[in-house]
Structure 1
Amino acid sequence: MDRKAHRELERRVEDLTVKLTKDSRRLNGEIKGRNRAERKSKNLDKTYRNLLNISLVGIYQTNLKGDILYINDALAKIFEFESPEEMLLEGAIDRYKHFEDREVLIQTLKESRSVKDFEIEVLTKTGETKSILLSAVLEGDTLSGMIMDITDRKKAEEALRESEELYRSLFKNNHSVMLLIDPENADIIDVNPAAISFYGWSYEELTGKKITNINMLTEEQVFQEMEKAKTEQRRKFYFQHCLASGEIRDVEVYSGSIKLHDRELLYSIIHDITDRKQAEKALQESEQEKKKILNSLVELVVYQDIEMRVLWANRAACESVHLTREELLGRYCYEIWHQRSDPCPDCPVMKTMKTDQPEKMEKYTPDGRAWSIRCYPVHDANGKIVAAIELVLDITERKRAEEELQKARDDLEQRVKERTAELAESNEKLKKEIIERKQTEGELRESENRIRNLVDSSPVGICIIQQNQIVYQNPNLKRLWGPLPKRFENHVLDYLHPDDVEKCKEVYRQITSGRDQTSEVDFRFYPPGEKDHKFSLCWVQCRAILINYQGEDAILLNMMDITRLKEIEHLLTIKQKMSSLGHVAAGIAHEIRNPLTGINSYLYTLEDLCDSEIIEGDQIEMIKQIISQFQLASDKIEAVIKRVLDFSRPNPPKMDLIDLNQCIEDTLNLSSITLRKNNIKLEKSLEPDLPQCYGDSHLIEQVLLNLINNAARAMEKNQKAKRIQIDSFRKKKSLYIQVSDSGPGIPKELEDQLFDPFFTTSSDGTGIGLNIAQRIISDHHGTITILENKYGGATFRVELPIEKRTPSR
């Protein structure tokens, strides 16, 4: 019953109830004419009761206490009572499942006097729960109204809700791509998260598209396919769909009709089969390739089932009986090749079927031909034999060849027997020669190994160049040059000193042209990766020899690192100069010291005379001043002589553990006043906690003082800021001191001469300061080098070993 009819019935019952109540009051008040009124009342009551009893809606009257005053048959049936009289005995209160529902109902009636569509749960006679829709009117202490059983409707609504939730769960939570499509206009109505992830569009973007925007078919073709799905002509389709990225994917679509919210829609479950398609294509290509291979075989290849019917045969098998493959399929092999009605007694296929093992045999046919037959079982996924492959090869020619070969072998064996005696003596001689040869080969291998070990361990770098390819290089050459590329090209010359490139090219031209068989050259080069570092320059003595290597012309290069030798030669030259200079200086000092001794003696005598009373006082004072100036000049001459003697006879350093940073601080204290006077900014960066090293602190301070003074003189004409930077740091097993200035720097052409004795760029310099500094650092087993710095000036770096070293012998 729909809600409109329910309201109409409710209105009528309400009107009838009101009318009944009025009539009852009027009848009860009328005393006169009681019999007539009673008869009329009984008739009217009967009419109303008949009307109420035939109603499909439960009608009732109760009081506020819960007593049932009246119920119709429909209400008794709702509560599963046999009759209204049975229910009247129970009362109304026990029928409420939740007592608080009655309290809410009574309170609402007291406030508004009527209630419509009040939904509650009640209990039947058997205790079953039912849902009812209640309407009531309160007049005084009496409740009148009607009840409609909506239990079935509630169950239907719950079932519908559960169905929709199940649909939503199956649709939204499904990992497969799912779409809902309107077949009338191709609109995409709904999509699940899997579809959003697969296509790459958002939910709004996808539901704003048509399936024709995604399907690669034409719009007309898409509607034709949707019609097939709608009319259930087909449920499975194969399409190509376009993704948001523009990629085209092969998809398998299961589509069917579904009714949702009174709309006929198509639901589509979509599976990406692109990888499967590619795999199927690869499998088809593989099958085609296998068939090509099998068809190219000269062997007869026949694939048979367990009843020996031909399932497949290659070209050779077909041509052997002049039949096509289609004519062979399904026929028995013994029928085709042996014209029999039953299998051959010794058939290898039958044996394979029985034993499940490969079989092999050779067989002769009546025409005299020989055949090699092999048979292999084929199993299904469960390991059960389902077929066999038979491979047959005509070996008639091979058998004939074998027979001829056997005959030839027999003849040969006879000849061998005849020649055996002749060869016995020769064989003994040959054994002796083989033994001697093996001994010689062993000695040769040992010699080659010795030579190879000698070459590999040689301190000389050795390589062989053949057709501009470096075919061999020993470990020492790799250490010297680093790993060279296999191809010997001109870029190798980039590592040579610019002054030596041409003479190296000339030697290479002479050797490759064949003008000289051997040639030697000394050259300088920068090890790979260090070309910009001028202090990594190495000297190499190279000898090139034209040789024959493995039957072809090649160039053998022997390279020896003579860097240390060149340094020693340079130092030896300086030492010889210094030795000669020392002798000269010693002679000069001796010649100067003798007259100075006499001068001093006369000066002392003159001083004594001045102390006598013979000379007047003013003259005495003047004489003393002259004498004082003489002594000052004499002291200066003595100091110069001492420096010359120190230069000619250097004292060895007194080695002891020293703090290098403290030496720097002491030197800076001595030179700080001079630097301030010359407006030179001093900056220092000394690494803390430097380890102590062995050295003579006085000589180290002398070196540092000389470097600082040289830096100050270099900046005398500076127009820019004058700056001296002092650094100390540790690197591996050495300590370093750097003195940097912001002067004009040192020209590269003068760097090699800077440490030579008496070489100076200053007009008032002696040219021995840097030489003495280099000699002091050398006596400490260290080095002093020149670098460029960020200020544009020069940096002198002093390296000193941390561990104590003994002089090399």
Structure 2
Amino acid sequence: MDRKKAESQLQQSEELNSALFNDHAAVMLLIDPNTGEIRDANVAAVDYYGWPRDQLVGMFIQNINTLSPDEVKQEMQRAESRARTFFEFRHRRADASIRDVAVFSSRVHTGEEGLLYSIIHDITDQKKAEAALATRTQVFLLALAVLCLMLLGLVVRLVMILRQRKRAEDALQQKSALLAKAEQLAQLGSWTRDMATNGLTCSDEAYRLFGCTPQELTPTYTGFLERVHPLDRETLACKHSVSVRMGIEADEFEYRILRKDTGEVRYINERCEHVRDASGTVIRTIGICQDITERKLAEHQTTIQLKLIACSAASPLSDLLTMALDEVEQLLNSSISFWHFVEPDQKTLSLQQWSTATLERFCTSQGRGMHYNIDQAGVWVDCVRERKGVIHNDYVSLPHRRGLPEGHAEIVREMVAPVIRQDAIVAIMGVGNKSTDYTPEDLSTLSFLADVIWEIITRKKTEEALRQFNQELEKRVRKRTWELEEANRQLEAFSYSVSHDLRAPLRGLTGLTRILLGKHTTGLSEEGRKLCVLINDNATAMGLLIDDLLFFSQAERTALHVSPINMTAMVRGVFEELGSTEDTARVDFQLQELPPIEADPCLLRQVWLNLLANAVKYSSKKEHPVVQVRAELKDGQAVYHVQDNGAGFDMQHAHKIFDVFKRVHSTKDFAGTGVGLAIVQQIITRHGGRVWAQGEPDKGATFSFTLNVVETERMKSNQQ
């Protein structure tokens, strides 16, 4: 029984020792001191070095230790003889990183075999700190030596240094004052946020921007958010969080704050950068903040001005005034606002408009458009007597205030500004019941906007007078248009008459020549037959010329019937119509996808017909004629090109190529009337586009034109 008990205790002891070795958090290795082979390694060692346990066990310590094999063997001998039990080495891990380690090693016996039992601790960070401390110590000693030399020099030149010190102190005091003033003028504060503790450190200027002292602002990020305007608080916190999560190195934000000292709303621009540790985790955020309230007010003023200008174009005066009051009321954080006109006698007022909020929530008294004497008005007419804007932040305590009519909004504080033109007050704008006191800056903003609104009102009155003038002018234009249309109708009748009168003899000529060539050809000489053919060809050409001239005349007067056009389909169809001729059949026709447009289909089809027919005609003498049609979008327009490799032309004639009857090639070489390109230019110009040509003799030509692009769902489906 005693033996079994002893064996059980021995087994428990071995299990305990094994657990102490394998489960211990410290890195532990068992090493053969003779060969350096690693006989065993605990879990912590496997995790630390990064090799699998079955690979780590069996490796040699020489593979891990950065010392030479001989040096490693010497150190193992010292550990085995207990001459030394503590070592500092540099060990290599599986990821090739080198770490500084402290090793406690001593000999242990496992049966008959003696092994080195080594406990390893990572001291890399400690080594770095020691190196940094050593560097700082050296710097300190060097600085101390320099300081001693300086002190020695100071003793020798004491009087001179005292005088220089006085001058330097005076200069430093001046520079310090200038720097403090610059910081105040720039309204630039700085802060640092510790991401681990959420602590916040701010500069003096930052506290001044927030209107509080360091004792009044909780030095945490949460305390900072409490100073942010409630409407911007959640958005700003979300943006900060996203900036950190998305790995953005630097970011910029704009938000509003509530100053603790005055309760005033201020606009802040913030720029920050994130500082990361070696793992990429943000550990600190550094930022600067600047008060941009004046800039934002200027932007808001400009926005209001643009809105009012846009409103004045389509709204009556009453709507314009209401919109102006609503915008000013919101900008100045007020809850009521009004607008009065002052009559030329400078004694009579008329209530012109209240803001939307004033009428809906606060004021139900009547009086819009009512005229009454200035002496009957409340304290707000102080601005008329003083001829400048006034602020009443303590309205209730004013001794000369009057009672308010029934239904009138309660007044807590108010601010009014007069509009002065040619030394006379023409209008008054007022706001009231801001949650905090009005400031001189608020009054400046109100005065500026009151002037702007008055200018818009004046312009609207001028526009009304101009509108009446335009109506009269439109009557005259309609009359002149009718007269012009009548003249065009007469010209059209004349064109048809001339066309008919010219065609009749031409038909006679062609008919007679056909009779001569058909029935009397035997009685004609060879020269006579040639003359008959020439007469017939010239009569045919004359007929084509009459058709082109008639189309040219009609194209200028014909009303445009605009509709969506699938340009790719139209060009393909026009070329197929030309395909019946031998010249067209030889052409290598290259058509790219063309953007759709809205235009007159009939007229635009004539454009493509003329340009493609010319391209085929002038490339017909080439062995391999090529005609290419392409387009691109540029600056809101579609630019279409028809390019051929034909006869081309000299660019010195490009200025006249679109004139009627102006040809750059002889009719002997290429037939034509000289009107086709003029028709193209006329049609494109009527559609608001332009047309031009580029060419080079015997190397082809490119004819281009532009049309405005209209992207609509209807056109897209039509294109499909």
**TM-score range, shorter-chain basis?**
0.3 to 0.5
Bigger RCO of structures 1 and 2 (CA < 8 A, at least 6 apart) = 2
Task: From the CA coordinates, give the structure whose radius of gyration is larger.
Answer: 1
TM-score by length of 2: 0.39
